[in-house]
Amino acid sequence: MSRPSAERTTHAAALVIKGGHVIDPASHIDAPMDILLRGGRVAEIAPPNKLTRGGEAAKKFDARGLVVAPGFIDLHVHLREPGQTHKETIATGTAAAAAGGFTSVCTMPNTIPVVDSVEWIEWLKSPARGAIVNVFPIAAATRGSKGGALTDFRALQLAGAIAVTDDGKPILEDSMMREALLLGGQLNLPVVQHAEDTRMTENCSMHAGAKSFRLGLRGMPSAAESVIVERDIRLALQIFNARLHVAHLSTADALKSVRRAKSAKAKVTCEVTPHHFTLIDDDMRDYDSNYKMNPPLRGAADLEAVLAALADGTVDAIATDHAPHAAHEKQMEFERAAFGITGLETALALAITKLYREKRISLARVVELFTAGPARCFDLPGRGSLAVGSVADVTIFDPTSKWAFHAAKSLSKSKNTPFDGWELTGKVMATIVGGKIVYVA
Amino acid sequence: MNSASRSLLSIEQLDAGEILKILKFARSMDPDRPRPLLKGKRVFLLFYEASTRTRTSFEVAAKSLGAQTVLIQSAGSSIEKGESLLDTGYTLRALGADVIVIRHPNAGAAHVMERHIDVPIINAGDGLHEHPSQALLDANTILRNKKSFKGLQVAIVGDIFHSRVARSACHLLSKFGVKIILCGPHELVPEIATTIAPGVSVARDVNDALHGTDVLMLLRVQTERLAGLKIDPADYIARYQMTSARLKMAKKDCILMHPGPIIRGLELTSEVADGMQSRILEQVRNGVPTRMAILARAVGKMR
Q: Which domains does chain A have, with CATH numbers?
A: 15-68+392-440 (2.30.40.10), 71-377 (3.20.20.140)
pLDDT classification of A2: cutoffs 50, 70, 90: very low
Cβ atoms B29, B300 nearer than 8 A? no
Largest Cα separation within chain A, whole Å, is 66
Class of domain B3-130+287-298: alpha beta
pLDDT of residue A232: 98
- Kindly indicate the confidence band of residue A6, based on its pLDDT and cuts at 50, 70 and 90: very low
Contacts of A209 in chain B (CB under 8 A): 192
Q: What is residue A396's predicted lDDT score, i.e. its pLDDT?
A: 98
A251: three-class secondary structure by DSSP: coil
Q: 244-283 in A: which are within 8 Å (CB) of B?
A: none
The shortest CB-CB distance from A287 to any of B112, B190, B193 is to B112
> Mind telling me how many Å the CA of B117 is from chain A's nearest CA?
12
> Do A335 and B127 lie within an 8 Å CB cutoff?
yes
Amino acid identity, position B142: I
d(CA B11, CA A12): 63
Residues of chain B with CATH 3.40.50.1370: 3-130+287-298, 133-283
Band (pLDDT 50/70/90 cuts) for residue A9 is: very low
Cα distance between residue A2 and residue A263, in whole Å: 30
Per-residue pLDDT tens, chain B, 303 aa: give them. Answer: 566 679 999 999 999 999 999 999 999 999 888 889 999 999 999 999 988 889 999 999 999 999 999 999 887 777 778 899 999 999 999 999 999 999 999 999 999 999 999 999 999 999 999 999 999 999 999 999 998 999 999 999 999 999 999 999 999 999 999 999 999 999 999 999 999 999 999 999 999 999 999 999 999 988 888 888 888 999 999 999 999 999 999 999 999 999 999 999 999 999 999 999 999 999 999 999 999 999 999 999 998
Options 2.60.40.10, 3.40.50.300, 3.40.50.1370, 3.90.1150.10; CATH for B133-283 is 3.40.50.1370
Contacts of B130 in chain A (CB under 8 A): 216
Hey, are the CB atoms on B85 and A216 less than 8 Å from each other? no
Interface test with A, best of B11, B86, B112, B171 (most A CBs within 10 A): B112
A327 inside 8 A of chain B by CB:
no
Q: How far is B7 from chain A (nearest CA, A)?
A: 14
Contacts of B31 (CB under 8 A, 6+ apart): B60, B61, B64, B288, B289, B292
Flag whether residue A213 sits within 8 Å of chain B, measured between CB atoms: yes
- Inform me whether the pLDDT recorded for A8 exceeds 60: no
Cis amide prior to A113 (ω within 30 degrees): yes
- The pLDDT value given to residue B3: 66
Give the closest residue to A43 by CA, choosing from A59, A27, A54, A30: A54
CA-to-CA separations, A395 to A34, A438, B247, B253, in angstroms, rounded: 14, 10, 72, 74
Measured distance CA(A373)–CA(A395) in Å, rounded: 15
Distance, in Å, from the CA atom of A199 to the CA atom of A220, rounded to the nearest integer, reads: 10
Residues of chain B positioned with their CB less than 8 A from the CB of A213:
161, 190, 192-193, 195-196
Condensed to tens digits (0 to 9), the pLDDT of residues A302-334 reads 999 999 999 999 999 999 999 999 999 999 999
- Which residues 335-394 on chain A approach chain B with CB closer than 8 angstroms? 335-336
Q: What is the DSSP letter of B195?
A: G
CB contact under 8 A, A213 and B190: yes
| B131 close contact with A: CB closer than 8 A | no
Contacts of B127 in chain A (CB under 8 A): 216-217, 335
Q: Does A326 touch chain B (CB under 8 A)?
A: no
- Chain B residues with beta carbon closer than 8 angstroms to that of A291: none
Q: How many residue pairs bridge chain A and chain B with CB atoms within 8 Å of each other?
A: 62
Say if CB A101 and CB A73 are below 8 A apart. Answer: no
Asked if the interface predicted TM-score (ipTM) of this complex is over 0.90, the answer is yes
